[in-house]
Every structure is written in C-alpha cells, then in structure tokens.
Structure 1
Amino acid sequence: MLLGVNEDAFEVLEWHWGAFFIWAYVLQLSNTSRWSIFVVYGPADHRRTADFLGELSAAVTACPFPLVVGGDFNLIRGSEDKNNDNIDWPRVQRFNDCIASLALREIRRTGARYTWTNKQLSPVRCVLDRVLVSPEWEGLFPLCSLLADTIIGSDHSPLVLSSGEELGKRSSRFFFQKGWLEKPDFHGLVVLRWQGLLRDAAQCQDPVTVWHRIAAGLRQFLRGWGANLGKEDRDLKADILAQIRELDGVADHAGLDDEGWAMRCHLEGQLLHLSRVEEEYWRQRSRANWLIQGDANTAFFHAFANGRRRKCAISSLISDSGTITGERELQAHIYDFYS
C-alpha cells in the first residue's frame, strides 16, 4: 500500500498504519479543515476477512476526526457488484453490517460499472474498490463525487475522488520548457519566428517597445507550439481509449463475445505501448535536465441531503458526439441544446 500527499495542499499531522490500512491525519491548507484518510487493502484470502474488518472497525472507531476510507476491500456488497452468481452471501452481509455499524456512507460512483476484472476472454468482473465517508466528512465536502475510470494495464479501475471544491485556475504565466531544446527543429523555428517579428516591429522607434513586441510574440508562438507537441500521439491515445470505453459500455449492458474481449485486450496493449513510450521520454528528460540543474441526527440527515445534491449534479452528458464532461463544456452543450 502507498499513500502520498501533495505538500502544497496538505500538511500531514499524524501517520498510523496496520496490517490492512494506512491512515493519515491531515490539515487541508486551502480551508484549514482537519480530517483523516484511510487507504485499505483487504485480503484476497477470505479466511482473513474477519481480521480485516475487525482491524478496520477498531481504527475507524478510534478516529475522532472526519474521515474517508478508500481502496481495494476485496469484498462486494450485493449481486449488482458481480457479473455472475458465485456470491458468498454471509460474507456480503458481514461487510454490510460492518459499514452500517461504523455509520459510513458509500460515495456513489460514475464511470466504469465494475472496478476489477480477472482479464480473461470471458472475465469475472466485480466492484471491489470503493470509497466510504463519515457524515462529518461529507458535511465538509457536500458536493464530493467519485469517478471509476477505464481499466488500462491494471486489473483494477482507478478511482478519482473529487471534493467538489472549485479548482484553482491554471496560471497564465509563460514557462519555457527545457525539453523544447531537445527538439531538432526548435532552433530553426525560433529563428524564423524572431526574424518575422523583427520585421513587423521595424516601424517602432523605441528599442524597448521593439523588445516587448518581439518577446510577447515569441511567447505566444512558443505557447501554441508547445501545446501541439505530441498531438498525434495524444489524438491516437484518445481514440483508442474511446474505443475501449465503448467496448466496456457494451460489456456492461449486453456482454461481449470472445472476439470483443480479444479486441479490447489488443487495444489496451496499444495504449500501454504508447504510455510506455511517453513515460520513457519523461524519464530520460528528467535525467538530462532536472538532475543536472451539529449532532448525530443532524449529520445523518445532512448526509442524505448531500446525497440528493450529488444525485442532481450533472457530472457528464452523453450526446451524439460522445460523452461530455467538464463544467464549461457541459454549460456550452446545455446552452446550445436549448437555444
């Protein structure tokens, strides 16, 4: 198990761990709230399930702070969590009883229907990964949401938990990337652009004005040029991922035959190859550049109210052109649809 923290966003006040979990008590720097996060890994050997649930119950009960618990529980909660009927119902009941006794609520997922597969041509698919929260944590982040992303490479789907807080805007400042110097055509492009800008600014008499115009034009050019680097690979990755998601959608609703699962495995292999190439580029680049230079009842009802707010929140829409996500894109699509 690993639990990492962005030190620009959080300060870790305490660390705790057990056989099946890591627990961090954190201070969120943006709003000074304090809460705990548990990352769990339940045993695949279900003879140890009772030990896992007992340790988790003791740790959650001892935690006096708002908390979120997420990870691979290796347990399901009902028939909808598995694509076949091979279910141990007493174990399901034990897991649900544990969640109820701790007064935790599961955050409803969007995205992939299942979070685990054994990656066979006729696979077993289950929901083993989930996020549970206390009413106090849900009160801090009433618009939290959970996305189960497409399974690529791993046998588990990555879960992305959003607190629902507005993300800070990306800085509009220009940053020169050292990696650009490694591009064989970079120097020639800069020279040509510089000469063109110099001709355009020739009518200016003030050298400072000339410099500012050339610098501004060059920044604009490099910002656009840098954004388009690797566009072909990015477009190819996006196309392959869209095909995989389409196959997953068919698998969720009608099922796939052996040919369909073989096609998904082939597409996933292509995507992993592209990712490895990109990873190697960044690994080499890092070597070359970076290393050198209220009360319980109130909280309970608030949790249900927050659940309704999340249910009414629109996180994505399906249109004729595909799935639309992102606040601005959703607003534009809805506006155009009703105009």
Structure 2
Amino acid sequence: MKLLSWNIRGLGKPEKKGRIKRLLKDKHVDIVFFQETKQAVDSENVARKLWGCRNMDFMSVDPVGSAGGLLCIWDPSVFQLSGCCCNRRYILLSGSLYNSFDCVLINIYAPNNPSARTSFWAGIVKLKDHFPAPWCMGGDFNEIRHIGERIGCSRRDMGMKHFNEFIEKCELHDLPLHGRKYTWCNAQEAEKWSRIDRVLLSPEWLISFRLKLWGLPRLVSDHCPLLLMEDERDWGPKPFKFLNAWTLHPSFSKFFVNIWSSTTVTGWAGFRIVQKLKQLKTELKKWNVEVFGHVTSKLKALEAELHTLDILAEDGLLDDSGRSRRRVVRGEMWHLLRMVEWIWHQKSRLNWTLNGDKNTRFFHVFANTRHSRNMISSIVVNDVSYEDPSRVQLEVYQHFKKLFAEDWVKRPSLTCFIFSLSKFISQT
C-alpha cells in the first residue's frame, strides 16, 4: 500500500497536472490526499487527469473562493469505502484495506489562524467516538511539534502545546520523516523552513504494517509530497540478540551451563571464547524454537483453556482435579504474560520502573518506532543517493574498509637509525 499526501497549492496549470500525474504513476500510488486544490473537482474527468486510466474512486471538497479545497483519490481494489464525512477542512473516509484491515483515512488541511486551529483540533477529537477504527491522518497541519522543526519562522509555544495534546488525545503516532528534514519552504528566498506536513497513525497501523514516510523532492509546490509506503526490501539475516525473557524459563540456566562447559576449543584465549560464543549462539537459536517456543501461541492456548474451565466452574461442573488444573493454568498464563511483556520491554529499550506502563501493545509500538527511526534506509555517497539494500551494505563496507586500511604500501624502517644510535652511544 502506498499513500501520498501533498499540499499542491492549486491545480490550475496543465503542466502542473501533468507533473502530478507522472509522479502518481511513477510511484505506483494507491491512495492520494491533496490539499489546497483551489478549484472544484466536480467530475470524474477532472480527477482522471491526475490519476490516469486506472480504476479509481474520489471525493472532494470545493474551495472557498480561491482558497482551500481537498481531494482524495484511491484505487477501489486497495481501499473499500464504507462511510465518509467532510467539511472544508477535512475529508474522512471509513473502510478497509484489501477487505481485511478496517481503518479510517483522514485528509487534513488545518487553519492558519492559531485560535481557529485549536477549535479544529477539538472537533477532530470528537470524531474518534464515531469512527473508532485505526486512523491514518495525513495532510497540512500548519503547525510544528517542537522548535527544531522550524527555521526562520516565528515561534508559537502555545500552538505547539495544543497540537501535541491533540495527537496524544487521539492516541496517534507521528511517523519519522526520511529523506529530508522539512516539508515546506518559502519559494522566493528559501530562508524559511518548516515541517508542517506529516502523517499520523494509530498504533494498529504500526503493528500490522512496516511503514516508512518519505519526503520527496519539492516539484511544483512550496510543499514537498509525503509518500507513506511499506518497506519490503530484503536487508539480509537479522543479527542475533539475547532476550532477557529466556532467563525466566526454568530450564535455561542448566541448558546454558551444559552448552558452555561441553564446548571444547583449543587455541589462544581470545579465539576460544569467540568460538564458544558462536556455538552458544547456534544452540540458543535451536533452544528458542524447540523449548522456549512461540510464547504468544502458548499464551492464547492457556487463555482459551482458562476460559473453558471458568465456564465449567460457573455451571458448578468443576471437580477437584479441574480446580487444581485451573490454578496451574492461571499460574502458567501469568508467567507467560510476564515473558511477553519483558520481550517487548527489552525491544523498546524503555526504563520499566520510570515508565510504569505494562501494556504490551505500548511496548510493541515503541519497538517498531525505534526500529523505523534507527534503520538506515538510504545512503548518500558523493551526492548520489542509494536505496537498494545490497548497494547500501556495499558502501558501508567500503567506507569502514577504507577507514581502517593503511595508505602506506611499505612501512618506513628505523633499522639504520637504531644502528647509528647504538654505535654513537657505545662510542661515548
């Protein structure tokens, strides 16, 4: 799935429409949000000039005079619409992706006036009760989240505070932007920069999809297009990581000692410990699958069994052995719950005692967010950008190979100098 959001600052010129159409085609966009169309899109023919000959549905909001205007176009085989609502500042589409993931898509163009913007946030929050499915909100929010997202522009602390409160109330996550730092620039002087365009997602999106947000080059607008897409590139095998939750398993300590003591390696000390660690890693991978197993699936099975035993207890059909089994199942369930939450807590790298939140979904989202923020998705070498994983890996390898290599073909020799020095000392 690919979603593009763009404040295009008017659709008027044919050249502009042609450039937009080529971009949507080249990037294989499935859903597009346009802000500030500045003209009415009242027929399929007008939308078709932007979308091309592919299957499409669309919904638009007319501008007020020559200001504003919103347009959403989507491929009906990707997004199936079931409900909608709109006003001059947003278009809300409720439906499902690929007939499997229920969601809400919202195209936003927030007011420029700070007080009007605050009222606008309050109105959007109320929509959450009527449309509870996971939200994907993209567009021009006309506000930044912190002062680092703006250069050369006036500072509005209260506006930032209200915007951050709005995001928190809606329980949305602000995707990190790849490819560039700012999304808007004043076209004349190029001295004012802001990140006022963004895409906000509910946690369910981050759990179900591996999404990246890219800032594309500014072309025919002073805003850059934002492309939300799944990262399906193959980066090779994942590095081995030790999970603290393994230590909760009753057989782990004995298994660890047996593997370490039974691995015999000859050689110098550094070589021996490296080889023993390699063997331990291999055995831990096997143990994780065969013994530790799939904790989540085991947890679901225990929860289902506990529910069945509770139903029998409610009907008075649970004997002594059943009550004993229920105590065992409940204990095992809580033990596995602790394992699951510890796993995601470690992956998210949050301080458990400081945070105090034992919600696995919370840690799952933070783990995915941290992975998305820290991942090297592209690399620039000699002003050339590379995104292919194999090329990125090659350039990183070449960089460090050169960094640790010696430029000298032949090291200088101090033999003659040492011989002359020793001869001088002996004579004196």
Q: TM-score normalised by the shorter chain: which range applies? A: 0.5 to 0.7
SS at match of 1:4: strand
1:157 equivalent to 2:219? Answer no
Counterparts of 1:122-271 in structure 2, within 5 Å, are 122-141=190-209, 143-165=210-232
Q: Distance in 1 between matches of 2:231 and 2:358?
A: 23
Q: For residue 333 of structure 1, report the CA deviation from its aligned partner.
A: 4.5
| Paired position in structure 2 for 1:220 | none
1:317 equivalent to 2:379? Answer yes
| Paired position in structure 1 for 2:90 | 21
1:42 equivalent to 2:104? Answer no
Tell me the number of residue pairs that the alignment of Structure 1 and Structure 2 aligns: 210
* 8 Å contact kept, 1:81–1:127: yes
Q: For residue 40 of structure 1, report the CA deviation from its aligned partner.
A: 0.4
Please give the per-residue CA displacement for 1:257-283, whole angstroms capped at 9, x wherever unaligned: xxxxxxxxxxxxxxxxxxxxxxxxxxx
Correspondence for 1:101 among 169, 188, 192:
169
Q: For residue 331 of structure 1, report the CA deviation from its aligned partner.
A: 5.0
| Paired position in structure 2 for 1:9 | 78
| Paired position in structure 1 for 2:152 | 84
Q: For residue 50 of structure 1, report the CA deviation from its aligned partner.
A: 2.1
Q: For residue 316 of structure 1, report the CA deviation from its aligned partner.
A: 0.2
Q: For residue 163 of structure 1, report the CA deviation from its aligned partner.
A: 2.9
* Larger radius of gyration between Structure 1 and Structure 2: 2
Return the letter of the residue paired with 1:50.
Answer: T
Extract unaligned runs of 5+ from structure 2.
1-69, 235-356, 402-428
Q: For residue 319 of structure 1, report the CA deviation from its aligned partner.
A: 1.9
Q: Distance in 1 between matches of 2:378 and 2:126?
A: 38
TM-score of the superposition, structure 2-length normalised? Answer: 0.45
* 8 Å contact kept, 2:378–2:387: yes
Please give the per-residue CA displacement for 1:221-255, whole angstroms capped at 9, x wherever unaligned: xxxxxxxxxxxxxxxxxxxxxxxxxxxxxxxxxxx
1:308 equivalent to 2:370? Answer yes
Return the letter of the residue paired with 1:21.
Answer: Y
Q: Percent identity of the aligned residues?
A: 28
* 8 Å contact kept, 1:61–1:102: no
SS at match of 2:165: helix
Return the letter of the residue paired with 2:109.
Answer: Y
| Paired position in structure 2 for 1:207 | none
1:54 equivalent to 2:122? Answer yes
Q: Distance in 1 between matches of 2:180 and 2:160?
A: 21
Return the letter of the residue paired with 2:200.
Answer: L
Q: For residue 308 of structure 1, report the CA deviation from its aligned partner.
A: 1.7
Q: Distance in 2 between matches of 1:37 and 1:131?
A: 11
**Change beyond 3 A, Cα 1:83–1:112:** same
Q: Distance in 2 between matches of 1:13 and 1:48?
A: 30
Correspondence for 1:113 among 161, 176, 181:
181
**Change beyond 3 A, Cα 1:144–1:302:** same
Please give the per-residue CA displacement for 1:52-108, whole angstroms capped at 9, x wherever unaligned: 111211123432111111100011111111103621111111111111122211000
* 8 Å contact kept, 2:152–2:191: no
* 8 Å contact kept, 2:94–2:131: no
Q: Distance in 2 between matches of 1:326 and 1:61?
A: 42
| Paired position in structure 2 for 1:287 | none
Q: Distance in 2 between matches of 1:21 and 1:162?
A: 22
* 8 Å contact kept, 2:134–2:203: yes
Q: Distance in 1 between matches of 2:144 and 2:106?
A: 19
RMSD: 2.6
Q: Distance in 1 between matches of 2:232 and 2:102?
A: 16
**Change beyond 3 A, Cα 1:150–1:41:** same
| Paired position in structure 1 for 2:27 | none
